Amino acid sequence: MYIDSHCHINFPDLAGKLPEVFDLMGRNQVSHALCISVELEKFPEIIHLAEAYPNVYASVGVHPDHEDCTEPTVEQLVALADHPKVVAIGETGLDYFRLTGDLEWQRERFRTHIRAARACQKPLVIHTRSAADDTLRIMREEQAGEAGGVMHCFTESLAVAEAAIELGFFISFSGIVTFKNATALREVAAAIPLERMLIETDSPYLAPVPHRGQTNQPGFVMHVAEEIARVRGIPAETVGEITTGNFFRLFSAAV
């Protein structure tokens, strides 16, 4: 069994073919998917999916790359998270790769999410890109470890992974780990404890090898597990079993 800990099946590329998406999940032993919020405006779509499908969970949050959307408050996030299928706050974090200039608003938005996660005791889904130092600094300043969570679609160094683990966080690998040029990331996947690892697709983006160029979907997540298994010299089923256990351990407060 495998769980896709981070997908966007409400996005148009996948929302139009959900029967196919769920069919492939079933055939590839992907038992659950966590559908991640990127804007409050789109949250109703996500909660609708989580209510319609027993094996879909939801998060609530506003992505650091989204500029022209409703800025969430702590109170709003806590209120929207008060639903049995909402298991996480995010995705949130910092992205200095996609956006440049004065990004103080991004850091403020990140702090808001951490405060909400601590207030409602649900874990954080953190996106970090070209901003690892500030991400870890704000996590420490805001005591993000009190809520815990996951560093999603991880692409940083082993040192960053270890610092996040030290703060009580899990590390989630996406299809990037299967990419030809991802040697350094595969070394991270080989080095960190399996007990702190999750797997994800971040679909519809980042289709893993051998599906590069296709629309990614949760049913492809076992290719991530297979690559991690290969670099660690263990069966893919073991990676599936342990990351599934980790998923429920992390999100158990709400599941």
> Site residues for Zn ion, window 188-207 (CB under 5 A)?
202
> Which x/- pattern over 88-117 shows residues binding Zn ion (rule: CB under 5 A)?
------------------------------
Where do the DSSP E strands lie in 78-230? Answer: 86-95, 124-129, 149-151, 169-173, 197-199
Residue 100 burial (CB < 10 Å; 0-12/13-18/19+)?
exposed
- Report if residue 223 touches Zn ion, rule: CB under 5 A: no
Measured from the CB of residue 56, what is the shortest distance to Zn ion in angstroms?
A: 15
- Closer residue to Zn ion in complex, CB, 36/254: 36
Where do the DSSP E strands lie in the chain? Answer: 2-7, 30-35, 56-60, 86-95, 124-129, 149-151, 169-173, 197-199
> Site residues for Zn ion, window 29-58 (CB under 5 A)?
36
- Report if residue 129 touches Zn ion, rule: CB under 5 A: no
Q: Which residue has the tokens 């559908």?
A: 35
Q: Which residue has the tokens 């595969």?
A: 186
- Report if residue 186 touches Zn ion, rule: CB under 5 A: no
- Closer residue to Zn ion in complex, CB, 69/234: 69
# residues near Zn ion by CB under 5 A: 3
Measured from the CB of residue 234, what is the shortest distance to Zn ion in angstroms?
A: 27
Q: Which residue has the tokens 């289709």?
A: 207
Q: Which amino acid is at 189?
A: A
Give the binding site for Zn ion (CB under 5 A): 36, 127, 202
